[in-house]
């Protein structure tokens, strides 16, 4: 599975034409303790870069942007019920949504892990 990263600290992991999306460990650490997550409805479509979710912590509220265009096919209800799951496993069980991709070529515009680590170190 290929994992790519955005400059806004989202990750996207592709499995076939389904992309799982979440926020990076760096983003979760910057936010601090997550206390609320708002996810989009299944069936809703987003363009690349659109606001698609909200994550709130004790420090701040942040938008989560769609790293690629697509339609939401699944949301992670576990992090709505227990938002601390985002902190516990931001790049694993703390994922936000699964999307059916509209244009897989958009992944080419995103960073690989090495480039993202360099970007996060400069942030």
DSSP string, 75-97: E-HHHHH-THHHHH-TTTTT--E
Q: Where are the domains of the chain?
A: 2-103
CB distance 28 to 83 below 8 Å: no
| pLDDT recorded at residue 122 | 84
pTM, whole model, 2 decimals? 0.95
What pLDDT digit, counting tens, does each position of 46-100 carry? 999 999 999 999 988 999 999 999 999 999 999 999 999 999 999 999 999 999 9
Task: Give the closest residue to 6 by CA, choosing from 14, 21, 18, 17.
Answer: 21
CATH 2.40.50.100 fits 2-103, yes or no: yes
Rounded mean pLDDT of the chain?
Answer: 95
């Amino acid at each position: 599975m290929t994992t790519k990263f955005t400059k806004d600290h989202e990750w996207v992991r592709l499995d076939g034409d389904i992309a799982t999306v979440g926020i990076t460990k760096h983003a979760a650490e910057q936010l601090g303790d997550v206390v609320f997550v708002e996810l989009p409805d299944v069936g809703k479509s987003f363009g690349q870069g659109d606001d698609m979710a909200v994550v709130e912590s004790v420090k701040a509220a942040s938008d989560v942007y769609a790293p690629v265009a697509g339609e939401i096919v699944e949301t992670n209800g576990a992090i709505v019920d227990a938002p601390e799951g985002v902190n516990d496993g931001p790049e694993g069980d703390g994922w936000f949504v699964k999307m059916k991709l509209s244009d897989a070529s958009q992944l080419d515009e995103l960073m690989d892990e090495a480039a993202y680590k360099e970007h996060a170190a400069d942030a």
